[in-house]
Structure 1
Amino acid sequence: SRLLGLKSHDCHTLMQQLLPVAIRSVLEKPARYAITRLCFFFNAICAKTVDVSKLDKLEEDVVVTLCLLEKYFPPSFFDIMVHLVVHLVREVRLCGPVYFRWMYPFERYMKVLKGYVQNRTRPEGCIAERYIAEEAVEFCTQHLSDVSTVGVPSSQKMGVSKPLSGCTNTEEVLPYIEQHMIHIKTAYPKFRKRTKWLQDKHNSTFIQWLRFKVQSELEEDNHGVSENLRWLAAGPNMAVPLYRNYLIKGIKFNIKAQDDVRTTQNSGVYLLAHTMQVASAKDKNPILSNMGFYGVIQEIWDLDYQKFTIPVFRCDWIDSSGLVVDELGFTLVDLSKIGHRNDQFVLASQVKQIFFVDDPMHRGWSVVLSMPNREYNDVIGDEVLGDVIIECEPFTRGMPNVDTFDELV
């Protein structure tokens, strides 16, 4: 099938995110690496933050990339537009990040203005009248905040709420976590040095200990227990509503069953956790470090603590045996290898949405792509002239190695 009607913004997204994946199985390795280097270059210069100290190296890399492309493309391909890629790094050095200067928001808004035109003989008048009418309606809606909306499905609208922030929750409970660990070490002195045993004991007994601890503090004068912590210790309502989709911080999450009947995908999540890592079940020297987990949402729970709600996801997490990072930095996962079945739940505020694309090179594996990290403030609407940053998480932090390119040919 042919791709028709693409705008420059569409081509940019295809080049930065989908092209490196699409060519994995259709081109020889040298040609594929050369094109992938060009895609990585645009990923680097379009990032939200740019390291000035790496611009010189980036400029050298793009020159090498164009030289590599000359091996596989005819001379007619190299017009002035291809040559101008060499000067993009200098432009970043002089003017700053690219997304401050590109025209994508204005091009997208031109489509909105063209949609205002009903009388083609008077396009300017149509645009002016529709724009004024829209501004008036938006001004009036600011005074109708308590009125129910029209056109928003009730199932989705129920999922749009003001959940308790995961950061606030953690900060209030953190002192009690430390106290509980000290309590366990005091109660079981023989296991003081067995970190894994202490963590497992903490996970299995902390809830009951916290409920007793908070209740005893509430009986004292000037206890200082916040209302949120009081309801957290009391526990949620046992009647837990389940949702097929949930909108939080402007990002829509679906369960896997919902994605199976649609062409879109919103059930992939990524969690970066500071957790304990062991080499095997007999490893007595675990290491605490950051570790990434990839999963698929199976259920969405909305825990009701009377004064607030906390959305949580029950996910199927990919086992470490189903996770591979290839030579170009692509993260590949095998969605059939499920692990961590004893710890499936995660706070909705702690995960980042990702997408799984079938790897054309390895059957049964999927390439992980992450979505743009837009900074929403719990809004549903999308500002037309808002910041359009295509900064998806790069596949790799560096360019593919070109030292062995001559050997590959």
Structure 2
Amino acid sequence: MALLIPGPKSLGKDFDVFLEPLIEDLLDLWKGVPTYDALTGKTFSLRAVVLWCIHDYPALSTLSGRTTKGYFACIHCDKHPLSYGLRSKTGYFGHVRFLPKGHRLRRNNEYVGLHESDDPLEKFTIEELLAELQKVRDVRPGKQQETGKRKRSKMEAGRVRIWSRMVSLWKLPYWKFLKLRHNLDVMHIEKNICEALIGTILNILGKTKDIAKARLDLKDLGIKKELQFRDDGESCEMPHARYTLSTRNKKAFCDFLRKVKFPDGFASNISRCVNAEGTKVQGLKTHDCHILLQRILPAAMRGFLDNDIYESIAELGKFFRELCRRKLNKDVLVEMKKEIPIILMKLEKIFPPAFFDVMMHLAVHLPDEALLRGPVQFGWMYLIERRLYTLKCYVRNRARPEGSIAEAYVANECLTFCSKYMDDVETRFNREPRNKGFSDEEAYGVGVFGHGVHFTSANELVYDENSFEQMVCMFRDELETTGVHNVERKIRLGFQNWFRNHIMRLRDTHQEEVDDGLFSLACGPDFRVRKYSSCIVNGVRFNTIDRDKNKKTQNSGVMTQEIIQLEYNFDERTVVLFKCEWFKLDGRRTELNYDGFFKSINVGSLWYKDNSLILATQARKVFYLPDTKLGDNWQVVQTFNHRHLYNVSETESAQYNAPAYQEDECCEDEQRQEPLIGIAPEMPLNRDDEQGLIFGVDEIARMQLKKPPM
């Protein structure tokens, strides 16, 4: 909207002025607007309020009028923030201040006493906040007309300007009483943290936080001496840090990303982001970072980095994974609020101060906002970004973007309205979903026939005449090994024959008591068995292992070998079975490995080979990642719930699946690990397996002359 009024008097970034008509309507809605209720035929007073604003962090400054950069970039730390001037940026470290006084982790911390105060950080009270806003109440929106560089007065020299202007939202009478006015965008916070971790661990040029100036910051602060420059008189060597990967491990990590396959609709193909040389990752989208930070990066680093670094990254990923649940527990959020400062303190013991910018610091305030707001889907930017992408796609004439968007929006509304009245024409409202096929067990007397499986591959017809005789032979062998007398008599009195004869007799005498489902089940299946390689069960796609080998996705679920359809002789009743591989989880060499974050299984040993069939509706989708720590034949199990499906229980006995619009994956219902108790033991932060970068003495001397701002 700011582009509509170009020129020297343009509003620039202060485009909240365009909200003035909306503010007037909101003031009327606060007082109440007479509204007619068509159901009751009465008039009532309609009221509405603004709960909070959703935007990314730069837009927060535009919409609120508060600065989001510099020493007061954190909107929650108004008094004595954690900011500290470094050589290349403003760092936010020293999260020990979030711990209560007397906490044992406050002792021997390298950042204690670095800031002006070690007291816990506080926000302005309502009175202090209004006093700050009164100082800028006369600031007009738009570009300032001053020419030249403005000189600061003596009164302004010792004060940092936190608020730039008083925006129109403060005209709302309830705005000052809201505890959460602007949401921190979890989506972009995850993206920035993930890119910082990957760029630093892989030492990607232009993305890493571990640069020469970051090493000089260590000397200025007198910390991490093993990572400081080594001067031999003629040159200076910057030693490699323990949190970076060697060239061999970089290629191994990129090969790991190439092998990763996700289920259908879970995430994009991350292997496309690995460059041809296989040494760096680039072009990650926000949802790619969302998946990488919570699941993929910690699982990969367990085999490439030391245990203390891996645990710190895994704890950070688990924090965001619990924060992004569809349902939040207040007690869990209170524990997360206590744990996140310790997680950041662990990272401070490993990474340099330049690694901790304001985005890394904002993670400490996310549990507080979740306690006020609720789940993250009510405050992050995924929904907004998708809508903005749709509007950007409307632009056909780049010289007139506003007109293109307006014209396409009107056309889309007209087509949407007309589509509601066209039942005989396929539209996006009546089109069948891509993953169709939901079970309806109540439609049949016997629930196994109501599987609702939709097959998506060609079938293979196999004549299995001897299957019944083979089962009889197996039953005879079991009876003989147990020493049962009169084996043939026991076989004749077997359950299957008894069940079939009983249903036949009951159908002849009391036909009304035997429904078609029981009669079909008693007659047994057809010997001609149909086998498929792909199907959809309750909106979830399942493939066999052979079909998944040549695909970029992994939909074999519980390692499905075959998809078998049994046909019964009445009204096209069928039963769909999955033939699965069950991995052995006990034994000295095949025991389930669980390190508190990930579960690994040995896929080289199988059991229950004779009992490998399950109903298709009993299968739950999982996917596997290569285990970089235990090596071959070991896979990391990743369980998840599909983001387009969720269970809602209207009563205690009824549940149904319905589509849900949410841009995250729901974590499994698992017990939380033991609370964090301390910091990892002291270990050297450098590694000497490779020679570090060499700098000239003169170049280091020039950089040292530029003192960091204080």
TM > 0.5 fold call: yes
1:331 aligns with 599
Deviation of 1:4 after TM superposition, in Å, equals: 3.2
Deviation of 1:166 after TM superposition, in Å, equals: 9.9
The counterpart of 2:640, out of the listed 371, 374, 386, is 371
1:185 aligns with none
Q: Please identify the structure whose Cα radius of gyration is greater.
A: 2
- CA distance in 2 between counterparts of 1:92 and 1:350 reads 34
Deviation of 1:136 after TM superposition, in Å, equals: 5.6
Q: Is it true that 1:111 corresponds to 2:386 in the alignment?
A: no
SS state at 2:575 partner: strand
TM-align CA RMSD? 3.7
1:50 aligns with 328
Q: Is it true that 1:342 corresponds to 2:610 in the alignment?
A: yes
The counterpart of 1:320, out of the listed 585, 589, 592, is 585
- Conserved 8 A contact 1:166-1:350: no
- CA distance in 2 between counterparts of 1:5 and 1:133 reads 37
- CA distance in 2 between counterparts of 1:389 and 1:87 reads 20
1:8 aligns with 286
1:181 aligns with none
Provide the identity percentage: 29
Give the stretch that moved more between structures: 255-264 or 387-396. 387-396
Deviation of 1:395 after TM superposition, in Å, equals: 7.9
The counterpart of 2:517, out of the listed 199, 205, 228, is 228
Gaps of 5+ in 1: 174-193, 195-200, 270-295
1:267 aligns with 556
- CA distance in 2 between counterparts of 1:11 and 1:75 reads 22
Q: Is it true that 1:391 corresponds to 2:666 in the alignment?
A: yes
1:254 aligns with 543
SS state at 2:325 partner: coil
Question: So what's the TM-score if we normalise by structure 2?
Answer: 0.43
- Per-residue Cα deviation, 1:266-312 (whole angstroms, up to 9, x for no partner): 1032xxxxxxxxxxxxxxxxxxxxxxxxxx11111123333433322
Q: What is the total number of aligned residue pairs between the two structures? A: 344
1:301 aligns with 564
Deviation of 1:96 after TM superposition, in Å, equals: 1.5
- CA distance in 2 between counterparts of 1:32 and 1:406 reads 14
- Per-residue Cα deviation, 1:224-266 (whole angstroms, up to 9, x for no partner): 3333333233333332222111112221111111111122211
- Conserved 8 A contact 1:25-1:360: yes
Q: Normalized per residue, which structure has more strand?
A: 1
- Conserved 8 A contact 1:317-1:338: yes
Deviation of 1:217 after TM superposition, in Å, equals: 2.9
- CA distance in 1 between counterparts of 2:611 and 2:305 reads 41
The counterpart of 1:352, out of the listed 620, 627, 631, is 620
Change (3 A) 1:12 1:375: closer
1:362 aligns with 630
2:416 aligns with 135
1:176 aligns with none
Deviation of 1:396 after TM superposition, in Å, equals: 6.6
Gaps of 5+ in 2: 1-274, 450-481, 483-489, 647-657, 685-710
SS state at 1:369 partner: strand
Deviation of 1:100 after TM superposition, in Å, equals: 3.0
SS state at 1:219 partner: helix
The counterpart of 2:680, out of the listed 402, 405, 408, is 405
- CA distance in 2 between counterparts of 1:251 and 1:391 reads 15
The counterpart of 1:81, out of the listed 356, 359, 375, is 359
- Conserved 8 A contact 1:319-1:338: yes
SS state at 1:3 partner: coil
Q: Normalized per residue, which structure has more helix?
A: 1
Change (3 A) 1:166 1:79: farther
- Per-residue Cα deviation, 1:162-207 (whole angstroms, up to 9, x for no partner): 655499787799xxxxxxxxxxxxxxxxxxxx9xxxxxx99x9544
The counterpart of 1:218, out of the listed 500, 503, 507, is 507
- CA distance in 1 between counterparts of 2:601 and 2:326 reads 27
2:313 aligns with 35
Deviation of 1:388 after TM superposition, in Å, equals: 2.7
Change (3 A) 1:112 1:29: same
The letter of the residue matching 1:390 is E
Higher RCO structure (Cα 8 Å, ≥6 apart) = 1
Deviation of 1:35 after TM superposition, in Å, equals: 1.2
SS state at 2:372 partner: helix
